[in-house]
Amino acid sequence: MTKIPNPRVCIIGAGLAGLISARYLQDEGISFTVLEGTQYVGGTWRYDPRVGTDEYGQPLQTSMYKNLRTNLPKPTMELRGFPLPEDAPSFMKRETVYKYIEDYVKHFDLEKRIKFLHKVILVSREENIWKVKHQNVATGEEFEDEYDYVFVATGHFNKPNYPDIAGEKLFTGTIIHSHDYRERDNFKDRRVLIVGAGPSGLDIAIDVAYVSKTLVHSHHSKAPLKTVFPEHYIKKPDIKEFNTTGVIFEDGSYEDIDDVIYCTGYQYYLPFLDISCGLEWDRQCVKPLHKYMVNIHQPTMLFLGAIVRACLVVALDAQARYAAVLVKGDFTLPSKENMLEEWNRKVETIRTNGRPLSDLHVIADAEDSYYAALTDESGIERVPPHMMKIHKLLLRTMFDNLYTFRDYVYTILDDENVKVSIENETENTRTV
């Protein structure tokens, strides 16, 4: 691909992914516009007590709940070159993170580059240019701009994935998705069923169990969960079916249930991508992408944050730096053939292991090698290996005890070493 002179970039979304990208494009002196469908920055980190649609009739994007604290410790939540407040705790409350994002926007003076209430409705590729159609959600007015690059930063924890369970229509209790979970008080003295044991399922189970009458947790997680739950917590296998009053599980057992919270994850949802973008997407995945990011058939389109099971903020920061130097023309991508070959190998591995294609977005154990690969290809400063170490230690403490994993403090000693300590218990300090 030849270098594009004076490129114009469209960033879709002003959540963390879009904002971090904006900051690095600005650093490089590249011209860009951020189109954001709501009137706020921060995407999912902006708590909204409402569910459903907003005042413009648009689906609420946020999945935050009132008592949320981060599930990652401070060093992995810090944006490069913008330290978190000294006095912020190891695992911050959502409002602390949101304030930090707002401060980031002020510090880098990004607001003037964002068109709020402009929702992107169509992105198409015509004659070597991107046409981006967007609509002012307040007035309904439509616009179309041309860009050389498109950064898709629309998040992927905002479109709920609902399971399809027999008899659901018969059930007379309430059913919500974790996307619409806001506060536990609604579940006081209720018999609540939580479905799923991903990050949301585990966290919401703990939150609700403080007030609910019973907490039935249906999941098939193979994670080595050792938490000792309170007595009214009942572990169950997958659901077989609903009837009017409750749920029958795969093992034939039954529980009376008042409320169900599906913590069954989110889908990829990119309805604005025209077929000319050269991508395929469904609820499970977007394909084909090079390095979880570059649209292989139209490599001037990049996806920021289309990854799961990583230190997301750190990964986003690395992706945004890679994207900025790519646009600047500091490095060239591998050939399309090579990118496709690597992609096909990845798909093949997933198929032979009998894994779902959603694994195409999973980073997990490959996190450190991913950072190394981004640096190899683009020359960006490498994310130090301690990030991966923190993540591993964190998972261990989390599996050990969901009630106490947030008591640990992670201190970075150098690029390789991390100190883990429990607040006020210095004898437990260990270095790894």
Ligand X SMILES: *[C@@H]1O[C@H](CO)[C@@H](O)[C@H](O)[C@H]1NC(C)=O
Binding site for ligand FAD (CB under 6 A): 12-18, 35-38, 43-45, 61, 63-64, 68, 70-72, 77, 119-120, 153-155, 157-158, 200, 272, 305, 312-313
In the complex, the smallest distance separating the C-beta of residue 379 from ligand FAD, rounded to whole angstroms, is 24
* Residue 111 · residue 41 · CB < 8 Å: yes
Which partner from the list ligand X, ligand FAD, none does 254 bind, CB cut-off 5 to 8 Å by kind? ligand X
Place of tokens 């690395």: 318
- Per-residue x/- marks for ligand X, 236-255, CB under 6 A? -------xxxx-x-----x-
Name residues whose C-beta falls within 8 Å of residue 280's C-beta, 6 or more positions apart in sequence: 286, 287
150 or 247: whose CB is closer to ligand FAD? 150
47 or 229: whose CB is closer to ligand FAD? 47
In the complex, the smallest distance separating the C-beta of residue 58 from ligand FAD, rounded to whole angstroms, is 8
Which partner from the list ligand X, ligand FAD, none does 424 bind, CB cut-off 5 to 8 Å by kind? ligand X
Question: In degrees rounded to 5, what are phi and psi of residue 213?
Answer: -75, -50
In the complex, the smallest distance separating the C-beta of residue 88 from ligand FAD, rounded to whole angstroms, is 13
Place of tokens 């939150």: 207
Could you say whether residue 175 binds ligand X (CB under 6 A)?
Answer: no
Could you say whether residue 172 binds ligand X (CB under 6 A)?
Answer: no
Q: How far apart are CA 311 and CA 155, in angstroms?
A: 15
Question: In degrees rounded to 5, what are phi and psi of residue 339?
Answer: -65, -40
Q: Which pair of structure tokens corresponds to residue 161?
A: 């994935």
Place of tokens 């591995």: 349
In the complex, the smallest distance separating the C-beta of residue 252 from ligand FAD, rounded to whole angstroms, is 33
Among residues 39, 36, 34, 33, the alpha carbon closest in space to that of 56 is found at: 39
330 or 423: whose CB is closer to ligand X? 423
Residue 2: Cβ within 10 Å count = 6
Residue 237: Cβ within 10 Å count = 13
Which partner from the list ligand FAD, ligand X, none does 148 bind, CB cut-off 5 to 8 Å by kind? none
Q: Please give the helix or strand (H or E) that residue 4 lies within, else none.
A: none
Q: How far apart are CA 195 and CA 262, in angstroms?
A: 5
100 or 249: whose CB is closer to ligand X? 249
In the complex, the smallest distance separating the C-beta of residue 204 from ligand FAD, rounded to whole angstroms, is 9
DSSP character at residue 332: -
Which partner from the list ligand FAD, ligand X, none does 262 bind, CB cut-off 5 to 8 Å by kind? none
Is the bond preceding 288 in cis, omega lying within 30 degrees of 0? yes
Could you say whether residue 424 binds ligand X (CB under 6 A)?
Answer: yes
Which partner from the list ligand FAD, ligand X, none does 13 bind, CB cut-off 5 to 8 Å by kind? ligand FAD
111 or 407: whose CB is closer to ligand X? 407
Place of tokens 């025209």: 274
* Residue 388 · residue 357 · CB < 8 Å: no
15 or 288: whose CB is closer to ligand FAD? 15
Extract the runs of DSSP E, i.e. beta strands, from 85-148.
114-115, 118-126, 129-136, 142-147
Residues interacting with ligand X, by CB under 6 A? 243-246, 248, 254, 423-424
